[in-house]
Structure 1
Amino acid sequence: MYKRFLKRPMDFILSLMAIVILSPVLIIIGVLVRFKLGSPVLFKQKRPGQGEKIFTMYKFRTMTDEKDENGELLPDSVRLTKFGRMLRSTSLDELPELFNILNGDMSIVGPRPLLIQYLELYNEHQKRRHEVRPGLSGRAQVNGRNAISWEDKFNLDVDYVDNVSFIGDWKIIFLTIKKAFVKEGISSDTSVTMEPFRGNKVEN
């Protein structure tokens, strides 16, 4: 009943409240991003949502547009500034996704929306993560985030899909707030975020 009738109204009310309460923070971060990283302030990217429907996800940008002599963008590790790292480590770069939640493209809790090019790489088990709206945070984010393997991440996502509950969502919300302060799992061992998903070798 919660999943079907109550989760979406709760998302709408909480995201609207958060936007109103955090509006000064959103404005300040937007000004700082414009001053330190340039324009545009927001990073926009197409992501697959519930039922693999494509939507535009919003985040504060955390990288510069620095390019090499051939006009190619420099590696993420070079373009990610100290200020950008701070935004990511505190998850402040994710705040514009509150508007995605308000619009109904995302939920407060659910599997994180990944890249469109990964869609053709999923096995049937992994595709099930799209049976619910993607989330601002989810089980994978409070259980290691980018420091865990893709296999573990997908298993946590599908487990969430099978066990959506009011209590479970609030546990994830509180753990997300705690993780933002502790700053755990921001990066994998070999990347500033997470290594690209190369395709699955795991059949479940």
Structure 2
Amino acid sequence: MASTAYDDMSKEDRDAHDLAEAAREKEEQAALPYQWSQDLQVVSVAVPLPKGTRAKDLNVVMQRRKLKVQLKSSADPIMDGDLFNDIAVDDSSWTVQDDVLNIELEKLSAHIKSHQWWPHVLTNAPKINTQKIQPENSKLSELDGETRGMVEKMMYDNNQKMMGKPTSEEQKKLDMMEKFKAAHPEMDFSNAKIN
């Protein structure tokens, strides 16, 4: 749904729409052959396995932008596709415990300080609405100052976008433009654009 149509809805209609979207998203995610969660640094994937499956019974391929999980006894992979974003392969891992394959994918963006929420693990899977992600407050307080600041900025920017208002970066540019206009009243800014 276009954000302008969403913005034009009453609060009750928006709440009903959000509820329906959340139910659809939950149903889609439940249909996947795995469960997943994330924080800003790591995507965690839990894949239920047949009883008695051991690590040596699996073929797990983790590449910078690809993930494949397959039982060696099966022709069909459990997971196979392109990852939403790059991972740090050397910092990612997998283990088998209690008939569950646990995969920890280290987001490459965590290494370059450009944190991002993933809408899905594999690009061929249904997406979640990343604007609705609310990090647990207790977890937020455990983050170092720089990371916490980034999370709070992302949350602020997502809320601003949802309300159709400028993000912190866009507001900074608008403020700079206003100061420049005030300093140069002789200039014509009627065709000025801010990118």
- Short-chain TM bin: under 0.3
TM-score, reference length from structure 1: 0.26
TM-score, reference length from structure 2: 0.27
Greater share of strand: 2
Q: RCO greater where, 1 or 2, for CA within 8 Å and sep 6 or more?
A: 1
